[in-house]
Each structure stands twice: as C-alpha cells, then as structure tokens.
C-alpha cells in the first residue's frame, strides 16, 4: 500500500457542528487559549502534563503558531473549539501521532472547565471522527486516557469506540504518586 504524501492530503481547516466551529489554529488565538487554560488549570493539571504551569499569553501564542505549522505539515491536526454564535473559545480537540501509511491517528481533547458536562467534547469528536473516516480515509482512530479519568473515558464509549486494551503501569501519575494504567479505545473503518 503506497501512502499519499501527507502534505497532499486535503484536510479542512474548519468544521461546523450544531453548536461549535472547530477551526485550525490561527495567529492571534493565543489570548483566548491562555484565558481558557488559566480558568481550567487546576482541573487540567490532574491529567495533562502540559498544564502543570500556567503559560503567559505570549507562550500561548507561540504554542498556537507552532500548532498552525504542525497542521500545515500534517504532523498534528489540532482544532480550536469556538462556541457559536458567541464565538467563545471553549477547548481543543485534535488528531496526533499520525501513521499515514495506514492511515491511523490518535485523538486528544480538553474542555474549558466552565463548559464541562454540556456534551461539547462529544459533539466535536463526533464531527472529527466523521470527517476523518469519510473525507480522509482514516482506517484507525484511537483515544488513550488514564484509567482513573472517568470523564475522559465517557467520550469514546458514548461515540461507539471499543476498549481495545488496558496498558498496565503504562505511565506515571502526573503528581508522581505511582504508576497508572492507560485505556486505549479504538474505532476502525
């Protein structure tokens, strides 16, 4: 099977859902990203290594511009979530660790704690999965999460992913308190 050069893959820079616009990172998104991380840092820091410290607005803007470059290079396909019609930044979803030979991708996500429990992440992931399977020809999508992160586990289960594996002692807890298991949920085409 010959893989298409990732740079030749047509991947939409925005996706609309009933309540959200998923948009690839754009220069200038850093302030909105930063504000959302600041509001959610305590919650995010329990699960996300990158959330252990609060970035400056400048650091967030650098992060956005790097994500934009990785999107163009097809190394990571991050989308910022904008609640419509307000146009408020509420989180991120994305596809990373691509293996374009298959093609296979991993999905990651986080939501601003002020918007948790409204089904926004499930709505965004559902749109992302549909686009990946239908438009990109992706054959395998995986979602990995800490076995203790019940909210994160609910998303793939709600969207028809199957638990493929439990990776025992796969990672160190963010707080260093011990080893953690990782669940791997998959959806195949």
pLDDT for the residue numbered 140: 98
Decide if 185 contacts 164 (C-beta within 8 A). Answer: yes
Residue 3 lies inside a defined structural domain of this protein: no
Residue 7 lies inside a defined structural domain of this protein: no
Residue 110 lies inside a defined structural domain of this protein: yes
Query: CA-CA distance, 181 to 164, in Å (whole number)?
Result: 13
Residue 1 lies inside a defined structural domain of this protein: no
**What CATH number did the domain enclosing 69 receive?**
3.40.630.30
Decide if 36 contacts 90 (C-beta within 8 A). Answer: yes
pLDDT for the residue numbered 5: 86
Residue 6 lies inside a defined structural domain of this protein: no
State percent of the chain over pLDDT 70. 98
pLDDT bracket for residue 86 (50, 70, 90) = very high
Residue 70 lies inside a defined structural domain of this protein: yes
pLDDT for the residue numbered 176: 87
When pLDDT is averaged across residues 25-54 and rounded to a whole number, the result is 95
Residue 54 lies inside a defined structural domain of this protein: yes
Its sign, for the CA torsion 99, 100, 103, 109, is positive
pLDDT for the residue numbered 7: 86
Q: What is the pLDDT of residues 134-181, one digit of tens each?
A: 999 999 999 999 999 999 999 999 999 999 999 999 999 988 899 999
**Domain of 126?**
12-188
Query: CA-CA distance, 24 to 11, in Å (whole number)?
Result: 10
pLDDT for the residue numbered 1: 53
Partners of 96 in beta bridges = 106
Model confidence, pTM: 0.93
Instruction: Please tell me the total number of residues recorded for the chain in this structure.
Output: 189
Overall domain count for the chain: 1
Residue 122 lies inside a defined structural domain of this protein: yes
Whether 9 shows a pLDDT value over 60: the answer reads: yes
How many other C-beta atoms can be found within 10 angstroms of the C-beta atom of residue 167?
13
Query: CA-CA distance, 109 to 96, in Å (whole number)?
Result: 11
């Amino acid at each position: 099977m010959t893989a298409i050069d990732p740079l030749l893959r047509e991947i939409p820079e925005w996706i609309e859902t009933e309540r959200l616009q998923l948009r690839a990172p754009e220069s200038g998104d850093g302030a909105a990203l930063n504000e959302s991380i600041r509001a959610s840092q305590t919650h995010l820091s329990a699960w996300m290594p990158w959330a252990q410290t609060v970035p400056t607005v400048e650091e967030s803007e650098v992060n956005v511009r790097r994500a934009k470059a990785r999107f163009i290079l097809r190394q990571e396909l991050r989308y910022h979530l904008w609640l419509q019609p307000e146009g408020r930044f509420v989180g991120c979803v994305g596809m990373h660790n691509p293996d374009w030979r298959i093609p296979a991708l991993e999905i990651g996500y986080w939501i601003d704690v002020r918007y948790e429990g409204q089904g926004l992440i499930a709505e965004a992931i559902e749109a992302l999965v549909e686009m990946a399977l239908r438009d990109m020809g992706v054959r395998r999508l995986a979602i990995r999460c800490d076995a203790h992160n019940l909210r994160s586990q609910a998303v793939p289960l709600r969207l028809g992913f199957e638990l493929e594996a439990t990776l025992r002692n796969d990672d160190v807890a963010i707080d260093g308190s011990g080893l953690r298991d990782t669940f791997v949920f998959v959806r195949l085409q």
